[in-house]
Chains A and B, each alone.
Chain A
Amino acid sequence: KAGVTQTPRYLIKTRGQQVTLSCSPISGHRSVSWYQQTPGQGLQFLFEYFSETQRNKGNFPGRFSGRQFSNSRSEMNVSTLELGDSALYLCASSLSASGRGEKLFFGSGTQLSVL
């Protein structure tokens, strides 16, 4: 069974641009969550999608958005990039909505560098 696949693996953008990251969950998984990982802030929750609906949202500005398609694949978009958006963006999938005792499977992440 293939794992969680994130593309691209690395991305370099300049301030003011926008970027779209993609995540393909494990086959059969319906929940996709996104996290931002930085050395200073650690892992911070961005949002979670379940059956194409946003179920939870973290404390990030509206420049960060996401969506989920009918095949459970998810994309996240960051508009008007800022230097502080440089981070490793991790996607995780789970069989059902992430919750008590639920096991998340993480992708290897997309390393975004904003110059």
Chain B
Amino acid sequence: GDSVTQMEGPVTLSEEAFLTINCTYTATGYPSLFWYVQYPGEGLQLLLKATKADDKGSNKGFEATYRKETTSFHLEKGSVQVSDSAVYFCALVDNAGNMLTFGGGTRLMVKP
């Protein structure tokens, strides 16, 4: 079945540092890929998405590129802020449009 693997956290960075959170997936065909973010005490929010190979999703300074050849969708941000501290989930929806499959989540802690 489909699966999503994320780097384990927590990831601890200083403010203005560069962020990369790795995400790889296993799925047949061409899934759609997503990054969701969960702030403390809240539900998940869609951060960005990409629906086909080589697409780049971007939002709030975060970016991720759909790499079919490496089955990856790594999340990057050039300069993190304390307010970016949250748990980040990589997810996919398969070709048939069935339910979201999530990775285990990566907790990001940004220190001033």
Residues of A in contact with B (beta carbons under 8 Å apart): 4, 33, 35, 42-45, 48, 56, 58, 90, 92, 97-104, 106-109
Contact = CB atoms under 8 A, between A and B. Distances in A.
B93 A100 contact: yes
A108 B42 contact: yes
Given A100-B97, A101-B32, A101-B51, A106 B104 contact: no
Contacts of B99: 33, 45, 48, 56, 58, 98
A100 B43 contact: no
Contacts of A42: 89, 102-105
Given A42-B89, A99-B93, 4 more contacts: A92-B43, A100-B95, A106-B44, A107-B43
A4 B43 CA distance: 10
Interface in B80-110: 89, 93, 95-105
Contacts of A44: 102
B45 interface: yes
Given A42-B105, A45-B99, A45-B101, A103 B93 contact: no
